[in-house]
Amino acid sequence: MKFNPSRLLILLCSLALTTPTASRAVEENKAHLKVPMERQRDPDTQEDVWVVGLGNDLIGLKKSDRWLTSNIMIGTTTKKIPTFIEKILADNPNAVFSIAVSQYLYTPDDTSRSDVVENDRPYAGWLFVTLQGIDRKDNYMIVTGFDVGVVGPLAGGETVQSFIHKATGSDAPKGWDNQLHNEVGINVFKLWAKSLRSSDGTFDRELIGHVGLTLGNVNTHAETGFLARWGYNVPDDMGAPFLSTGEMATAPRRNTIGLAAHDKGDFSFYVFGGADARAVARDMMLDGNTFGDSHSVDSKAFVYDWKVGVVVGYKGFEVGYTNVRVSKRFEGQVDPSDNGVIFFRYTKRFK
């Protein structure tokens, strides 16, 4: 395991910068959280959402096959909030609960080698479930949740990548014997977001800012970022599919909000762009296993992503494409990478 104590100071400094913003958001939401228990959910604002995200570097603008090489996710929201999540959300009847399953696969640049590629990132698979409660009121949103899963051979990385390479006619990866070993992974996270939205009657404009904190043996970081959207009939979901500062633009902790609303009919279309930044204290996919020896590299303390994309929707169905430009993640990385994500989302009213 590699853990640089100086990064903890960096992380704390970053939190010192972001906490005032987060605190203001929390204070402004306190009044909204005090909702009488007898108040019922509004069927006109609460919606059920299913999302499938398929990410791969081969569909990124660079069309490469390295580093974050595949990411797959399926998730949904539900109005049946578990008791322990409901308590966290102060029994707010406007809150929703989401659950998602994701798999991330990482490889070095040269997958034709069977030995350890010393100066490149390790082979790693991360298979996990995300549970989260999302509290939304007007243009504020608070997300609270956790990831739990496994890193290592049990995550099925070798099987999935070998299948994809065979299906696409690519050479089989040969270095998975050197992947990180099996380890249970747990992250807990909190995110605060605020939206500024306007319309000229035909086209909608929106700017969303967020700050957040993740603590765990897989990831520990502070984050901040923004997202800008412009288009026709932009859904009022606070940019849910794209708020993640992870390398997958449709990371489940941000995209199953379930509060979208179209005001101008069944058709929608919009483009978007944004940036995210992190102060990183730990990234197991680079720093190696927490316990025992494993391949590792020196990860960078500050990283960022840029993203652009387009979404088309009709009658509750949406399809979108995102390209994420990922900054250098470790010392010795030759250049940034690109990852493309195609996502499908279906929304219906809660009954």
Q: Which of 39-48, 252-261, 285-294 has the lowest mean pLDDT?
A: 252-261
Give residue 310's pLDDT band: very low, low, confident or very high (50, 70, 90): very high
Q: Where are the domains of the chain?
A: 5-34+48-349
Nearest to 247 by CA among 143, 146, 339, 171: 339
Average pLDDT over residues 302-313: 92
Contact criterion met (CB below 8 Å) for 136 and 94: yes
Lowest mean pLDDT among 49-53, 85-89, 245-249, 276-280: 245-249
Rounded to the nearest 10°, the torsion over CA 223, 227, 233, 238 is: 20
Q: Give the per-residue pLDDT at 345.
A: 85
- Positive or negative CA dihedral for 229, 231, 236, 241? negative
pLDDT at 27 exceeding the cut of 60: no
pLDDT in tens, 93-151: 667 788 889 999 999 988 889 999 988 999 999 999 998 888 878 888 888 889 999 99
Cα–Cα distance, 127 to 130 (Å, whole number):
10
Mean pLDDT score of the chain, rounded to an integer? Answer: 78
Report, as an integer, the average pLDDT of 306-324.
90
**pLDDT recorded at residue 266:** 85
Question: Which comes out higher in pLDDT, residue 244 or 80?
Answer: 80
Task: Decide if pLDDT at 87 tops 70.
Answer: no
Read off the pLDDT band of 240 (50, 70, 90). low
- 154-203 residue pLDDT tens: 999 999 988 888 888 888 889 999 999 999 999 999 999 999 999 988 89
Least confident of 111-115, 318-322, 334-338: 334-338
DSSP-assigned letters across all residues of 25-71: HHHHHHHHH---TTPPP-TTT-EEEEEEEEEEGGGSTT---SEEEEE
d(CA 200, CA 213): 35
Is-contact 240 208, C-beta < 8 A?
Answer: no
Distances (CA, A) of 59 to 62, 256, 281, 338: 8, 23, 30, 9
* Model confidence at 348: pLDDT above 90: no
Q: What is the pTM of this model?
A: 0.80
Q: Residue 339 and residue 318: Cα distance in Å, rounded?
A: 20
CATH topology of domain 5-34+48-349: Lipocalin (2.40.128)
Q: Which of 189, 220, 149, 305 is nearest to 4 (CA)?
A: 220
User: Does the structure show a pLDDT above 80 at 290?
Assistant: yes
CB 180, CB 148: distance < 8 Å: no
Buried b (16+ CB within 10 A) or exposed e, 288-311: bbbeeebbbbebbbebbbebbbeb
| pLDDT for 329 beyond 70 | yes
Length of the chain as a residue count: 351
Q: pLDDT class for 64, splitting at 50, 70, 90?
A: low
For residue 285, is pLDDT > 60? Answer: yes
